[in-house]
Chains A and B, each alone.
Chain A
Amino acid sequence: MLRLEGVAAGYGRTLALADVSLDVRQGELVSLIGANGAGKSTTLKTISGLLKPSAGRITWDGAEIGGLSPREILARGIAHCPEGRRVFPHLTVRENLEMGALLRRDRAAVATDLDAMCDRFPRLRERLAQAAGTLSGGEQQMLAIARALMSRPRLVMFDEPSLGLAPSLVEQVFQIVREIRANGTTVLMVEQNAMAALRLCDRAFLLETGHVVQAGTGAELLASPDVRAAYLGGA
């Protein structure tokens, strides 16, 4: 459903992506792995419209979407849960969730979804009226995930959802990602924790300095000597 072909993008004059080609099919959980600075976050920002591709094509259901605004991308069903959670610290938890549903017009269904999010993440219900900045790191990550889902996306992109979390919470986050896919939402996930990501995903792409250098199923990349040497501690 999503396809990138030879995409290049950057910040001002610095080119962060040189040649990125990847595809995500309906219902899949796809991982994008790579070292720090490889261009994983930049890839997601280019898909979600925060950056304009300087070359290549991005298509969604066959239609070109490269260069559209983030609002138009979101309206087409692609949500982006950014790196570092990025909850709005001075908005309440409820306001953060409502921000996720900003483009939706079905207010009654939004209220139902908000309630369902609170059932899924009971900590959020307890803190609905609290400023998001007062939440713990794990709670903020849950909020960021829930906020992204509030738009009812067909594809949700997570940028390092396990970053900076305690090991027990990391496991919980991956469990949530698994559930989201099981509920029918397609997932594109960026992770530095390559071992966990490869075990979780259907397919994966390996990014190195702005190029996709390997693609395959999670199991194939896990077995690849290059991947093992570079990202899995050489074991």
Chain B
Amino acid sequence: MDQLLQHLVNGTVLGGTYALLGIGLTLIFGVMRVVNFTHGELYAFGAYMTYAFVSLLGVNFYLALALATLAGVALGAALELVLLRRMRRADIDSVMLVMIGASLVLQNAEMWAWGGVAKLIPNPFAGSPLVLGPVSVLPLRLFVLGVSAALLLGFWLMLDRTRAGVAMRATFQDPETAALMGVRVGWVNTATFAIGSGLAAAAGALLGPVFMVSPTMGDLVGLKAFAIVILGGLGSLPGATLGGFALGFVEEFAGGYLSTEYRDAFGFLLIILVLALKPQGLVPAKERIG
């Protein structure tokens, strides 16, 4: 029972960042119909930028997280403006190939810039866990959960309450009619890719200090992001949130009770199961807010 609670807490922490990752990817797919293979690299980018700011430039830890996220937003905007904007009329295969190419370039640039050795990001939190009854959590992990939850809530409020958010959802649903309402669909695309990338970078910045940072960390995370999005239903924002937490729990529980070495494999096993039983994902199309 105590162990169960412990796994539940760990799964929630992991799930929050996975939800950020999944929302970013599903948003980009939903609005732009782009299968974004650079998503995992943006995650790694967020982690490395945090490392650079904290360890090399001596920037305050919290400020470094914000700057790394903003750097992700900027890199996403640049990718959209330089690559995707020119390919608006290209077929989906060409776009996919270009995005795969871009992810290879990003990964190798990271390797070149930082070397192959994994880095540790120092953080200001106490190394000893907080003990709350039967559960113990590292303060850093609580902080990660808090920030993820705040980002998820903030993003949702932006989409639900602001004029920009309504315009974004309208574009999501019917870009041509949105254009007739005066929406600059091109800028919505740039903003979408930038925000989606920023969410991935934020996830990387948050988990970077929890785990180690290495140039290939984006690979597995990119795959997981796709798993989360497919799990939740392509283009569904609530689905991606749900999928993120589902993956976090499955990894945590399977890792805890079944096998630590294969914890990543169980997540993918779950995807196969869900797709076999519910091919549309957890949140069917008609319930999507997009």
Residues of chain A having any CB pair with chain B under 8 Å: 48-50, 69-71, 74-75, 79-80, 82, 86, 88-91, 95, 98-100, 102-103, 147, 151
Residue contact A50 to B181, C-beta cutoff 8 Å: no
Query: B261 on the interface (CB 8 Å rule)?
Result: no
| Chain B residue at minimum C-beta to C-beta distance from A71 | B182
Given the contacts A48-B180, A90-B290, A99 and B174 also touching, CB distance less than 8 Å: no
**Contact A99 B170, CB 8 Å, known A71-B184, A90-B289:** yes
A102 and B174 in contact (CB under 8 A), knowing A88-B169, A91-B169?
no
In the complex, the answer to whether B173 meets A91 with C-beta atoms within 8 Å is yes
Task: Pick the contact of A74: B166, B176, B182, B288 (CB < 8 A).
Answer: B182
B136 at interface, CB cutoff 8 A: no
A91 contacts B180, C-beta separation under 8 Å: no
Residues on B lying within 8 angstroms of A by beta carbon are 163, 166-167, 169-170, 173-174, 176-184, 288-290
Q: How distant is B203 from chain A, measured CB to nearest CB, in Å?
A: 26
**B177 lies within 8 A of A95 (CB):** no
Docked Cα-Cα span, A151 to B169, in Å, equals: 19
Q: Among B177, B179, B182, B288, which residue has its beta carbon within 8 angstroms of that of A88?
A: B177
List 19 additional A-B contacts (Cβ < 8 Å) besides A50-B180, A71-B183, A102-B183.
A49-B179, A70-B179, A74-B180, A74-B182, A75-B182, A80-B180, A82-B180, A86-B174, A86-B176, A90-B288, A90-B289, A95-B166, A95-B169, A95-B170, A99-B181, A100-B181, A102-B167, A102-B181, A103-B181
The chain A residue sitting closest to B186, CB to CB, is A69
User: When the two chains form the complex, which single residue of B166, B179, B288 contacts A71, counting CB atoms closer than 8 Å?
Assistant: B179
- From residue A99, how far is it (CB to closest CB) to chain B in Å? 5
Instruction: Report Cα–Cα, A99/B180, bound state, in Å.
Output: 10
5 A-B pairs with the lowest CB-CB distances in the bound complex, closest first: A103-B182, A86-B177, A71-B182, A70-B179, A99-B181
CB-CB under 8 A from A79, the residues of chain B are 180
| A39 CB to nearest B CB, Å | 17
- Specify the chain B residue showing the minimal Cβ separation from A147: B181
Chain B residue nearest to A144 (CB atoms) is B177
Nearest chain B CB to A110's CB is how many angstroms away? Answer: 11
Residues of chain A lying within 8 A (CB to CB) of residue B183? 71, 102
With CB as the reference atom, state the residue of chain A lying closest to B167.
A102
**Whole-angstrom distance between the alpha carbons of A102 and B181 in the complex?**
7
**CA A99 to CA B181, docked complex, whole Å:** 6
* Alpha-carbon distance A70/B184, docked complex (angstroms): 9
Chain A residues in 8 Å Cβ range of B180: 48, 50, 70, 74, 79-80, 82
